[in-house]
Amino acid sequence: MLSFRAMPRAPTADSRFTEIEGHRPYLVRYALSQLRDPVLAEEAVQEALLAALEGIGKFDGRSTLRTWLTSILRFKVIDIQRRQVADRARVDIDEERLADEHEAWLDEMFDETGHWKSPPQAWNDPEAALEQRRFWMVFEMCLEGLPAAASRVFFKREVLGEDTPVICSEEKITSSNCWVILHRARIALRMCLERNWFGHEASHGR
Amino acid sequence: MADEVEDLSCRKASSLLSLACERPLDATELRALKMHLDECLMCTNFEQQLKFLHRCSEAFREG
């Protein structure tokens, strides 16, 4: 992480910088959901963060800092999308393989009688987790652990709240494949959160 | 009536719960799902977790 040792500094500028930097993982995820390409996503975030640092005086606190940063990033993303219009025809979700893989993946989650192999537990006071910084690190890690397409589709659907038909057409996939991707993402995320945060083992380790 | 309702497995029930986040379920699906949830604590937990994932994602956007 960042080190400020022995560096003379203006505390307000530094704390602003640290605060803005703290939103980077979210912003990268946002950019990835829109751009797919990690290099371009990184470029967009970098440009947005620089613009944010320069324009921090314009942040009036009427929205959250994250919302403000996202609105700057959105413009950077649109710029890059314009540059890569030709490239967007590329399809990177193989629809036929997806359907086969989905059944095979579910075979791993459920036994032959259709019961959960790793049964969902009751989570103790999940709302309280939302207030904890470490929970968000776990959440980001779990999102990061999803396959790229699943992570992108889940982010658009649940985080950005886009409608499924919009997502399907952006991703150029059928709605049933969109549902398949979302279903798998949800099961994978719930397992990851249970293993690393809500589960009995995870809470004893805290 | 009741014998017309398909007896759901957890595999199918969880898939309907996830589908319900995308489109309204029809009457048959709802009836079958409700019967399953009445007896299955694991899928009831899964249903709660889906709701939490939704709230959590919204909170993630706000930062």
Q: Which of A62, A130, A146, A178 is the best substitution to test chain B (most B C-beta atoms within 10 A)?
A: A130
Q: What is the pLDDT of residues A136-157, one digit of tens each?
A: 999 999 999 998 889 999 999 9
Q: Does pLDDT of A175 surpass 50? A: yes
Cβ-defined contact of A106 to B53 (cutoff 8 Å): no
Cβ atoms within 10 Å, residue A63: 14
Instruction: Give B11's contacts in chain A (Cβ within 8 Å).
Output: 106, 109-110, 114-115
DSSP classification of residue A125: -
Which value does ipTM take for this structure? 0.90
**CA distance linking residue B58 with residue B23, whole number of Å:** 19
pLDDT, one tens digit per residue, over B14-39 is: 999 999 999 999 999 999 999 999 99
Which among A86, A74, A188 is positioned nearest to A141, based on CA atoms?
Answer: A188
Residue B10 binned pLDDT confidence (cut-offs 50, 70, 90): very high
Q: How many CB atoms lie within 10 A of CB A27?
A: 25
What pLDDT, on a 0 to 100 scale, did the predictor assign at position A16? 81
Show the beta-strand stretches assigned E in chain A: none
